[in-house]
């Protein structure tokens, strides 16, 4: 869903740039209060892994493909604030080094691919978890639901933004229907990939999954934290 240069007029691009700058600033503030020493490399990994997964286009209909957005995945793994920043880093590398997503469309892409999927995904994840039993299987299911929901919501927002500030005058209704229609299919792939990755991480290191933190017994978390200090990492004081 990477928006290239030229799709949006200057005012909309600048407006989206300001919204994304605000979202990134707020995410940086929240990330500062959430980042522990061991979360730093994990957050870097989430960005790198999403970057890799975004290259894997899968066919969704005749002559059309889709790929993971990864905002919901990142939110479940490291929380929506750090997850949003992970996606903003992915988009920056793609725009600057791969010409995937326009440089003048960076703000639009941050809104559509970082902010909306991370926070809509996290909201859907929390809602689904509240309705499901407290189990690791429920974390995987809720991740898939969150991933599925996040994609058509972002696609619908593209249609709204394009109606407001698109560089070409086309019918809002038909763009909306086409975008949501194809991205409902992309969302199925998003759900399957997200569920598979979350399932693998929950099975190996549930303590590293933000969305499964309540399922890890507190003594285990404390032991991990003690291990962090014993491992020579300074500054991690736990009462």
Partner 1 sequence: MTRTAGIFVLAGLLVGLGLALLVSPLASSAPDGLEKVAEEEGFAEAADPQLDAPRAGTAVARPVGVLVTFGVGLALFGTVRVVRARAAASSGSPVATPPASP
Residues 59-98 that bind partner 1 (CB under 8 A): 59-60, 63-67, 82, 85-86, 89-90, 92-98
The piece of 10-18, 116-124, 141-149, 163-171 that touches partner 1 (CB under 8 A) is 163-171
Question: In the bound complex, what is the minimum distance in angstroms from residue 70's beta carbon to partner 1?
Answer: 11
Residue of 34, 177, 53, 171 lying closest to 117 (CA atoms): 53
Pairwise CA distance, residues 115 & 158, whole Å: 13
Whose structure tokens read 């190996």? Answer: 204
Within 177-206, which residues bind partner 1 (CB under 8 A)? 178-179, 182-183, 185-186, 204-205
Closest separation between CB of residue 102 and partner 1, Å? 6
Contacts of 110 (CB under 8 A, 6+ apart): 16, 20, 23, 24, 87, 88, 91
Looking at the DSSP bridge assignments, the partners of residue 64 are 61
Instruction: Return d(Cα 55, Cα 170) in angstroms, integer.
Output: 29
Part in contact with partner 1 (CB under 8 A); list of ranges 10-18, 114-122, 140-148, 209-217: 209-217
Q: Which is nearer to partner 1, 133 or 204 (CB)?
A: 204
Shortest distance (Å) from residue 212 CB to partner 1: 8
Element spanning 146, H or E: helix 136-165
Choosing from 11, 26, 164, 238, the residue that interacts with partner 1 (CB under 8 A) is: 238
Dist CA 177 CA 193 (whole Å): 25
Number of residues that bind partner 1 (CB under 8 A): 94
3-state secondary structure of 27: helix
Whole-number Cα distances in Å, 10 to 22, 88, 102, 144: 18, 21, 13, 36
Nearer to partner 1, 18 or 205 (CB): 205
Work out whether 106 is an interface residue with partner 1 (CB under 8 A). no
Instruction: By CB under 8 A, name the one of 11, 18, 135, 167 that touches partner 1.
Output: 167
Establish if 35 lies at the interface with partner 1 (CB under 8 A).
yes
DSSP state of 64: E
Among 39, 132, 188, 192, binds partner 1 (CB under 8 A): 39
Sites for partner 1 among residues 109-138 (CB under 8 A): none
- Please pick, from the candidates 31, 75, 124, 128, the single residue that binds partner 1 as defined by CB under 8 A: 31
CA distance 128 to 120: 12
């Amino acid at each position: 869903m990477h928006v290239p240069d030229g799709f949006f007029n200057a005012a909309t691009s600048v407006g989206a740039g300001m919204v994304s700058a605000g979202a990134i600033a707020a995410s940086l503030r929240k990330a500062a209060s959430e980042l522990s020493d061991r979360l730093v490399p994990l957050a870097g990994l989430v960005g790198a892994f999403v970057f890799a997964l975004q290259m894997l286009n899968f066919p969704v209909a005749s002559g059309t493909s889709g790929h993971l957005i990864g905002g919901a995945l990142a939110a479940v793994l490291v929380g929506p604030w750090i997850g949003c920043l992970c996606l903003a880093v992915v988009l920056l590398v793609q725009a600057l080094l791969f010409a995937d997503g326009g440089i003048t469309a960076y703000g639009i892409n941050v809104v559509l691919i970082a902010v909306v999927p991370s926070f809509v995904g996290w909201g859907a994840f929390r809602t689904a978890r509240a309705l499901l039993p407290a189990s690791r299987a429920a974390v995987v299911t809720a991740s898939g639901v969150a991933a599925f929901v996040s994609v058509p919501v972002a696609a619908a927002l593209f249609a709204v933004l394009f109606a407001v500030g698109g560089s070409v005058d086309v019918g809002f209704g038909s763009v909306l229907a086409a975008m949501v229609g194809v991205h409902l299919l992309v969302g199925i792939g998003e759900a399957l990939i997200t569920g598979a990755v979350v399932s693998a991480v929950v099975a190996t290191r549930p303590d590293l999954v933000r969305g499964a933190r309540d399922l890890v017994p507190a003594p285990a978390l404390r032991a991990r934290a003690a291990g962090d200090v014993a491992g020579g990492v300074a500054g991690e004081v736990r009462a």
